[in-house]
Structure 1
Amino acid sequence: MINKDTIKTLVEEWLEKSDYFLVDIVMDGDRIAIEIDHADGVWIEDCAELSRFLQEKLGEELGDYELEVGSAGIGQPFKVEQQYQNHVGDEVEVLAADGKKLTGVLKSVEGRNFVLTVKEKQVPEGKKRPVMVEVDKNFSMDEVKSTKYVLNFK
């Protein structure tokens, strides 16, 4: 019987020789889904190579399972710290713990904390009209509901 730890160990063995990183492993009944990612995107050839590697290592045991190896979807919420690191400088959408959505530029990542630069209307001292200013908001990955990359077609 194959378990998640066995799959994770084998995937990490394959990842040692590449710049890819593991995002998630989902075992659901007779299905094993593995998500990997890379700073420059994921190549289908590499997914196929990882799949063949797992088939070689697990042999007949894998016969009872449907194996899927793919990339973490570009519009999907981040699951691991490395995804945050890869998107520093990009526009992201954060769903805060209070349910509020904020869109801004991922300014920095330090451990499990990150800074999002957002534009807000504020009234400068001595002025009557609000102006848009950039404000840094600090978050913990553990306290937000989700963070995902914003696709721009501009």
Structure 2
Amino acid sequence: MFKGTVKKLLDEALNQREDLFIIDFDVLADNTIKVVIDGDKGVLVEDCMFVSRAIEHNLDREEQDFSLEVLSAGATAPLTKYRQYKKNLGRTLSVKTIENETIEGTLTQANEEKILLEWKAREPKPVGKGKVTVKKQAEISYDAISKAQVVIKF
């Protein structure tokens, strides 16, 4: 019952701010509310405050004691939603597949079923000595991804 009320308040807040979306939401046994959000253009502290106030100001502490945490998905948090992939187009991802293969490349496409990674590799020339740079790509369905993260480069 309490979780349903909180979820309704969260959905109402996110309907006002369509640039924000839920990554994770849970209400623990001790009434700790945990909300992790992300945004199409990132998340500011003000965005977390907006979601927090939308929930907190519409619950009665006399009726239900609770604690509330609203946080943004961190830069190194795994990607779990299509919108996260879409907002990271052009960035380098490290993707581990369910076959335990790790692929690192630039995310060039993301639709609702799959992603496309592209990268360059050095391979032996077909004829003669030496190596040649070739462009590679991998189309990976979301079902085949066990973990995907943005690679932070300095």
- Using structure 1 for the length normalisation, give the TM-score: 0.87
2:41 paired with 1:43: no
**1:114 corresponds to which residue?**
115
Cα distance, 1:36 vs structure 2: 1.0
CA displacement, residues 64-114 of structure 1 (integer Å, 9 cap, x when unaligned): 322100101110101211000000111111111122222110010121200
Q: Please tell me the residue identity of whatever aligns with 1:20.
A: L
Q: Please tell me the residue identity of whatever aligns with 2:21.
A: F
- Gaps (5+ residues) in structure 2? none
**2:81 corresponds to which residue?**
80
**1:7 corresponds to which residue?**
6
Q: Percent identity?
A: 30
Deviates more, 1:73-82 or 1:51-60: 51-60
Cα distance, 1:124 vs structure 2: 3.8
Q: Please tell me the residue identity of whatever aligns with 1:97.
A: I
Equivalent-residue separation in structure 2 for 1:99 and 1:61 (angstroms): 50
- Gaps (5+ residues) in structure 1? none
Cα distance, 1:45 vs structure 2: 1.7
Change in 2 beyond 3 A, CA 1:60/1:89 = same
Change in 2 beyond 3 A, CA 1:6/1:126 = farther
**Number of residues paired by the alignment?**
152
Equivalent-residue separation in structure 2 for 1:63 and 1:127 (angstroms): 75
Q: Please tell me the residue identity of whatever aligns with 1:26.
A: D
Equivalent-residue separation in structure 2 for 1:150 and 1:8 (angstroms): 32
Matches of residues 2-151 of structure 1 in structure 2 within 5 Å?
A: 2-3=2-3, 5-18=4-17, 19-30=19-30, 31-60=32-61, 63-151=64-152
Cα distance, 1:63 vs structure 2: 4.3
Change in 2 beyond 3 A, CA 1:58/1:112 = farther
Change in 2 beyond 3 A, CA 1:130/1:29 = farther
Whether the 8 Å CA contact 1:88–1:109 is kept in 2: the answer is yes
CA RMSD of aligned residues (A): 1.9
- Using structure 2 for the length normalisation, give the TM-score: 0.87
Deviates more, 1:120-129 or 1:94-103: 120-129
Structure 1 residue runs of 4 or more that deviate by more than 4 Å after TM superposition: none
